[in-house]
A and B are shown apart, each in its own frame.
Chain A
Amino acid sequence: MTTPPILDELTSKADLPKILMLGWEFPPVINGGLGVACHDLCIALSKYANVTMIIPKSNPDFVVKNLNLIGLNTIDAKTLRNIGHTDTYKKVKQVHFIDTHLNPYYNGNASPHHDLQNLTSQYLKTVKVGDETAEVFQIDDLYGGDVIEKVTVFGKLAAKLALSLDFDVIHAHDWMTMIAGMEIKAKTGKPLVVHVHSLEVDRGGPQSKGWVYQVEKKGMEYADLLMPVSNFTGHIIHDYYQIPWSKIRPVHNGIRPVEPFKSVPMFKEKMVLFVGRLTRQKGPEYFVDIAERVLQKDQNVRFVMAGTGEYFNPLLERAAQRGIAHRFHLTGFLNLDKVRKLLSIADVYIMPSVSEPFGLSAVEAVQFGIPAVISKQSGVAEVLNGALKFDYWDINLAASYILNLLHDPVLVENVTHDAYKDLEIISWDHAAKKVIEGYNAFHLIPEMV
């Protein structure tokens, strides 16, 4: 891999490319892996670029070194309204307009380039700042309520804010920020990169063609470059959204290093662990089938599912129906410490995902030296040589792999040894370099001399 010259030769931050990131989840407010991934990618990128990140809400106590973090909840809408009438706007040379037709349900002002003078929204709230009042973007939780209005208003405000900022490239993460990304591109003419962590087709299945799907499709069509977190997701973008391969450049996720530890097991049986949301996408019902198959051969195994979701009760019932409830445990939601505790005593990790853009949890298991049995329908299967891989529907093969691992220490030793080697390239620094390479390959940032 070639390293762009900027990485080694330039030390002055002023010479580095300027990235405007658009995020939704961000620490300390996180729901899933997206917030952590965005955070860690930004940190890694800040070595090679000036990164400004706009998010719906920031916490003034949460400061990230080398990152200009702007929460829309901290900006007065009045300030934003004035931006269009200042010199900043005139400096922006390329302004072209497109009609995005994004939102059949949104009944606000449909034009993406309207001014904010008349913008009203339940999410624009008047708050007291000292003696004065200010009108700010305020949402309590990221995904509840009228999420369509949330992401649309976010887009309008972020676009206005962007006019006052200096940047070379827009880098949006997932559908929640795609409207913002498109508006900013339309207003500034700057190139738009869309980082794809997860798609509606992953979450809802191939028949999903609702509003979110439409936003994703328009956003990806309008983008100059797409960076899915795996080839697997790249194929979905190509196959289900009809985007040409020529503008798809996968960038695999990295992972933070951890200090793995071992704990005393809670029971004498071996333990097979599943960690993840209990939703269709993660294939939790296959885990029950696999467990049943394993128990037919070996009764000295316990199966633990850490996570919660709409499949929680059906899974309980399914396990009871199969007569394996005594060996099958659903923990509900667990915080990171408790998940790590489970990783420290697990014998085998299983990820039967139906459609998994990346699958960081499998890499976390690998960090703990646990052999991973993972579905081929995952991005992580592309970067983990040291793992046993099966098609998510092939429960016999998965069960067979688990049994072999439980009975063969040499196999465990070999698989985990190879997986440790894989960890060397699964890093955020590696991912950040790939991002910069992508910008360069598509000439999205000024060439560095």
Chain B
Amino acid sequence: MPSVCFYFQVHQPFRLKRYSFFDIGRDHFYEDDEKNRLILDKVSEKCYLKTNRKMLELINRHKGKFRISYSISGVAIEQFEKHRPDVLQSFVDLANTGCVEFISETYYHSLSFIYSKNEFRRQVEMHKAKIKQHFNQVPKVFRNTELIYNNEIASVVEKMGYKAILCEGVDRYLGERTPNFLYQPAGTLKIKAFLKNYRLSDDIAFRFSDRNWAEWPLQADTFASWVHKVAGNGEVVNLFMDYETFGEHQWEETGIFEFLDHLPMEIMKHKDFDFKTLSEAADMAKVRDIYDVPDYSSWADAERDLSAWLSNAMEKEAASRIYKLEEKVFSTMNPDLIEFWGKLQTSDHFYYMCTKFWSDGDVHKYFSPYDSPYDAYIYFMNVLADFETTLEEALQDVKPVKKATRKKVSTTES
């Protein structure tokens, strides 16, 4: 009996302001509060509130048979806490139905796994606590930022106690196989991997409103008939996408909400199909084969690798510089510095610096709050320069205490 596993990613970064070279040493407020607030409000109205209402309605209408999963980044939750408690409450309402699962990710929606396993674990724990706090659930399933994945991540996450992990179903690793089964990540014992069915997912997330697409306008019954083709050769249909697909990437006028309204019914018209949360599906289905991903994969861009964040010299420089500060940041024991250092790790900062003008540049441009990738890099590095100065000052304050302590010890010894 194949199960449709809907998983939606909810994320909003703290965007940095246009922080020029002249601001270094003068201005210690780095975030573009106005823009962040503006975008949060816009997406809340166009997407989150509307779609959450629709999801709640669908869960009630189908008497609990419509079941879905979410991941909400820690930085998104923080922004809801501060500015849109109504949105947060609408997610809590969904959690209270018992039909909605919230899964784990890194608190800052970061690339931390690539640079520091300690920081990665810290952020996953932080995020877990946040989810428990608001939704009273302890996540059992993990997804890494933008489905960044390889065998090693699966191993580390398994040791952290998760029973399943999400990843992209990448053709170059799947070969002829289908993403519609659970797989065993190479080198692991128990953890199960859900592979995104990118064809069906992207039909909704990217192609839905494309008037040049042969299938436009896509109707729920047509899409359901494609899902039904999995019968006999699959146990899970993993439809993973950004939650902002509904109402923000695909505007209301495209008919995306009507599509969503009819979809559960159309899918369940086939008696063999149902909806499951990720944990439920992980418990029911068995792994059918090994999925071996030695190099990093992700769900981003045509390349589906790390190139959306780490392909040019600027991105690599910015990322490596931020992670070099880890030890210093923690030795200050200053919660503000530790917190801001975390926020600087948010992957969006690097995404905006991407210069793949000739392929996926358009998508990066669409999301970027800046005029160019160079601006993204320049503002980030200027902020970092100021942050480093503040950090050094904080360390000066910390060090004398340490020295004094050491001296004391030596005097007592002598």
Contact = CB atoms under 8 A, between A and B. Distances in A.
B374 interface: yes
Contacts of B372: 388-389
A411 to B, nearest CB: 7
Interface stretch (A46-54, A71-79, A268-276, A395-403): A395-403
Contact of A400 (B20, B355, B357, B371): B20
B355 A397 contact: no
A106 to B, nearest CB: 47
A410 B21 contact: no
A109 interface: no
A411 B314 contact: yes
B20 A411 contact: no
Interface string B20-50: 1110000000000000000000000000000
Nearest to B318: A410
B339 interface: no
Interface stretch (B51-59, B110-118, B188-196, B375-383): B375-383
B313 interface: yes
Nearest to B20: A400
A410 B313 contact: yes
B317 interface: yes
Contact of A404 (B21, B312, B357): B21
Given A411-B378, A417-B313, A385 B355 contact: yes
Given A404-B382, A408-B381, A415 B374 contact: yes
A404 B378 contact: yes
Contacts of B355: 385, 414, 418
A413 interface: yes
B21 A414 contact: no
Given A297-B22, A389-B372, A401 B314 contact: no
A388 B374 CA distance: 7
Nearest to A417: B313
A400 B317 contact: no
B358 to A, nearest CB: 8
Nearest to B22: A400
A410 B317 contact: yes
Contacts of A415: 374
B21 A403 contact: yes
Interface in B154-211: none
Q: Which of B313, B314, B374, B381 has the most CB of A within 10 A?
A: B374
A202 B374 CA distance: 28
Interface residues of A, number: 21
B312 A414 contact: yes
Contact of A401 (B312, B313, B317, B378): B378
Given A397-B20, A415-B374, A404 B313 contact: no
Contacts of A293: 22
Contacts of A385: 355, 357
A396 B22 contact: yes
A417 B314 CA distance: 11
A404 B381 contact: yes
Interface in A384-434: 385, 388-389, 396-397, 399-401, 403-404, 407-408, 410-411, 413-415, 417-418
Interface in A347-402: 385, 388-389, 396-397, 399-401
A332 B13 CA distance: 51
B378 A297 contact: no
Interface in B41-90: none
Interface in B329-382: 355, 357, 371-372, 374, 377-378, 381-382
Contacts of B371: 389
Contacts of A403: 21-22
B374 A414 contact: yes
Contacts of B20: 396-397, 400
B21 A400 contact: yes
Contacts of B314: 410-411, 414
Nearest to A418: B355
A415 B378 CA distance: 12
Contacts of A388: 372, 374
A215 to B, nearest CB: 37
Contacts of A407: 21
Contact of A413 (B21, B313, B357, B382): B313
Interface in A324-355: none
Contacts of A397: 20
Nearest to B355: A418
Contacts of B317: 410
A415 B382 CA distance: 17
Contacts of A418: 355, 357
27 contacts: A297-B22, A385-B355, A388-B374, A389-B372, A396-B20, A396-B22, A397-B20, A399-B21, A400-B21, A400-B22, A401-B378, A403-B21, A404-B378, A404-B381, A407-B21, A410-B313, A410-B314, A411-B314, A411-B374, A411-B378, A411-B381, A414-B314, A414-B374, A414-B377, A417-B312, A418-B355, A418-B357
Top 7 A-B pairs, shortest CB-CB distance: A400-B20, A403-B21, A400-B21, A410-B317, A414-B313, A414-B314, A404-B378
Interface of B: 20-22, 312-314, 317, 355, 357, 371-372, 374, 377-378, 381-382
